[in-house]
């Protein structure tokens, strides 16, 4: 009997254990995890709990109760039903289409000072069925990154967070007047006006519209060989809008003659102009020219030297903030590519008869002509180098400073350097010929350059043609005059002397014979 009672008692204990085990697991939990390639961290706030179900294929909650991260007070009590008024308010929130407005409406019921659960790479969490606010809390500190917008979700199955990192992209281009194209490098003569464009494109993602305000600052810098004349235009364009809204933000232009020049344009709130951020664009176009300080690429020895321009953007990186002016910890930075501007120089060396160091020929002079061979390109001399007059800013106001248009070979090096040229064909015509040398036929110079349009690095295929042949150094060879066969030399004088002597002798013999007779 005792054995029977022991068996009954054991069975009863097992039943109680089984029942207790079923009770523990009766409330099902779900996993919230993060995609493994993400380095972001998310806080998960439980606003409501409840019984999960589906309606018309959509997840719903029934018997909704206040969650552990709700704003609790005397009426909002943890695990107590929320009541019909709150349910109606949340039903009305579903009709809000603007992402930031919907998020702000829900935030009224979330205690962000309470302790949330945290999800990050390889660290998932278990949660009850409920309604959750999921916020990106990654520390960015001026990295080229942004936080994803808050997620509002009913969790009634396992959820993997799929971050949407909505960062803008920035590209800078320079216009090549010869090719009529925008690219990453271009050729220009010194003082020739051209345009530089910085383009900022925002992702075509609805999360961009989760920002209440959007801070944007564009910082551009360039080396001292480049002069920015003015902003040609600044425009913001909404997705699908053909007519752009033109505006000019607060801007400051700095001109440092001994260092990088800088320009700064700031929108404290871009959404004043670009109300729909999704797929929008900002473009800044500058008028610019190369100045006398511009480094020049020597085509005679095929070296590369350029003027440069680049931009950096600082932008809002947290759509959950409601600031009017972004604090530093809510701003990220991205730098654009660098564009390169080329201007060219040609080194010309003059020799007598053949290329030898001892045959350097100075004193020879030329003038430069355009491609038609007729239009002269006036020149001026500056620091020992020759420039087309067009390279001198406001040259027409100081014509006396121009000096001679003639390009004279230096006395010691027998060379002359022409700087500030664009690609194209030119002609050198000799205007001063050293005594005893023949005047040269016009010399044809051609500079050709092929640019990779979408390549940021300096990569230009450069060719020079000198009098029909490609070469590395422009050697000008002048031929001296030569002695030709001629008559009227010393033989003729001797002939005349002998003739005169014979005439005198004949006269004397005639006189002697006449006397004898």
Coil, strand or helix at 272: helix
Contact 428, 348 (CB under 8 A): yes
What residues are paired with 474 via a beta bridge?
348
Average pLDDT of the residues of the chain: 81
Cα–Cα dist 450/461, whole Å: 5
Is the pLDDT assigned to residue 192 strictly greater than 60? yes
DSSP letters spanning 2-16: HHHHHHHHHHHHHHH
Distance between CA atoms of 261 and 308, rounded to whole angstroms?
11
Eight-state DSSP code of residue 246: E
| pLDDT tens, residue by residue, 85-128 | 998 998 888 888 877 788 888 989 999 999 999 998 889 999 99
Q: Which is higher by pLDDT, 182 or 139? A: 182
Give SS3 for 78.
strand
Q: Both tokens of residue 176?
A: 């090549």
Q: Checking phi first, is residue 83 left (phi over 0); if not, alpha (psi -120 to 50) or beta?
A: left
Burial class (CB in 10 A: 0-12, 13-18, 19+), 75: exposed
Query: Are 179 and 129 spatial neighbours (Cβ–Cβ below 8 Å)?
Result: no
pLDDT tens digits, residue range 249-306?
777 776 665 567 888 898 888 888 888 889 999 999 999 999 888 888 887 776 778 8
Give the pair of three-digit tokens for residue 450: 């092929």
Q: Read out DSSP for 284-318?
A: EEEEEEE-TT---EETTTT----EEEEEEEEEE--
Q: How far is it, in rounded angstroms, from Cα 98 to Cα 211?
A: 10
DSSP category for residue 142:
T
Residue 242 backbone phi and psi in degrees, to 5? -80, -40
Determine contact, residues 395/402, Cβ cutoff 8 Å.
Answer: yes
Residue 511 has pLDDT above 50, yes or no: yes
CA distance 406 to 387: 11
CA distance to 156, 259, 492, per residue, from 287 (Å): 58, 20, 77
Residue 71 has pLDDT above 90, yes or no: yes
- Answer whether residue 150 shows pLDDT above 60: yes
Residue 47's nearest CA partner among 30, 57, 61 is 61
pLDDT digits 0-9 by tens, 445-459? 888 877 766 655 666
- What's the angle, vertex CA 323, arms to CA 109 and CA 76, rounded to 5? 10
Q: Do residues 231 and 331 touch, judged by C-beta distance below 8 A?
A: no
At a CB cut-off of 8 Å and minimum separation 6, what does 39 contact? 121, 138
- How many CB atoms sit inside 10 A of residue 42's CB? 24
End-to-end CA distance of the chain: 207
The Cα 13–Cα 16 span in angstroms is: 5
Query: What does the radius of gyration of the chain's CA atoms come to, in whole angstroms?
Result: 43
Q: Kindly write down the DSSP assignment for every residue of 174-213, as one continuous string.
A: EEETTTTEEESEEE--TT--EEEEEEEE--S-GGGGG-SS
pLDDT-derived band of residue 15, with 50, 70 and 90 as boundaries? very low
User: pLDDT tens, 363-417?
Assistant: 899 999 998 989 998 888 888 888 888 777 655 555 554 556 788 988 888 988 8
Confidence of residue 17 (pLDDT cuts 50, 70, 90): very low
């Amino acid at each position: 009997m005792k054995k029977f009672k022991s068996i009954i008692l054991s069975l009863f204990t097992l039943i109680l254990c089984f029942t207790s085990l079923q009770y523990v697991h009766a409330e099902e939990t779900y996993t919230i995890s993060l995609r493994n390639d993400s380095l972001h961290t998310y806080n998960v706030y439980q606003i409501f709990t409840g019984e999960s179900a589906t309606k018309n294929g959509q997840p719903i909650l029934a018997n909704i109760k206040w969650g552990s991260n709700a704003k609790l007070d005397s009426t909002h009590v943890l695990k107590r039903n929320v009541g019909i008024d709150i349910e109606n308010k949340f039903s009305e929130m579903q009709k809000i289409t603007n992402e930031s407005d919907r998020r702000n409406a829900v935030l009224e019921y979330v205690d962000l000072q309470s302790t949330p659960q945290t999800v990050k790479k390889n660290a998932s969490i278990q949660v009850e069925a409920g309604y959750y606010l999921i916020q990106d809390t990654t520390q960015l500190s001026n990295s080229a990154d942004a936080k994803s917008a808050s997620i509002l979700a009913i969790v009634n199955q396992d959820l993997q967070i799929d971050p949407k990192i909505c960062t803008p992209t920035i590209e800078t281009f320079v216009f090549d007047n010869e090719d009529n194209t925008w690219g990453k490098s271009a050729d220009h003569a010194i003082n020739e006006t051209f345009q530089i464009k910085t383009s900022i494109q925002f992702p075509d993602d609805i999360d961009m519209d989760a920002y209440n305000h959007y801070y944007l600052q564009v910082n551009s810098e360039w080396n001292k060989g480049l002069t920015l004349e003015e902003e040609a235009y600044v425009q913001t364009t909404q997705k699908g809008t053909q007519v752009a809204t033109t505006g000019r933000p607060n801007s400051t232009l700095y001109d440092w003659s001994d260092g990088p020049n800088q320009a700064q344009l700031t929108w404290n709130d871009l959404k004043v102009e670009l109300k729909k951020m999704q797929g929008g664009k900002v473009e800044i176009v500058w008028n610019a020219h190369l100045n006398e300080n511009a480094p020049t690429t020597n085509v005679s020895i095929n070296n590369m030297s350029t003027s440069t321009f680049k931009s950096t953007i600082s932008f809002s990186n947290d759509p959950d903030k409601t600031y009017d002016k972004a604090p530093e910890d809510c701003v990220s930075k991205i730098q654009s590519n660098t564009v390169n501007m080329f201007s060219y120089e040609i080194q010309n060396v003059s020799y007598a008869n053949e290329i030898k160091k001892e045959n350097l020929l100075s004193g020879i002079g030329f003038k430069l002509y355009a491609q038609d061979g007729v239009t002269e390109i006036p020149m001026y001399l500056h620091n020992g180098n020759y420039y087309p007059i067009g390279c001198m800013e406001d040259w027409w106001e100081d014509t006396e400073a121009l000096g001679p248009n003639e390009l004279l070979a230096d006395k010691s090096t027998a060379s002359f350097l022409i700087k500030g040229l664009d690609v194209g064909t030119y002609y050198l015509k000799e205007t001063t010929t050293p005594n005893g040398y023949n005047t040269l036929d016009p010399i044809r110079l051609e500079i050709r350059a092929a640019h990779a349009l979408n390549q940021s690095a300096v990569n230009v295929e450069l060719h020079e043609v000198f009098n029909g042949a490609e070469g590395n150094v422009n050697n000008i060879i002048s031929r001296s005059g030569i002695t030709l066969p001629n008559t009227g030399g010393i033989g003729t004088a001797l002939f005349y002397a002998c003739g005169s002597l014979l005439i005198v002798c004949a006269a004397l013999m005639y006189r002697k014979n006449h006397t004898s007779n």
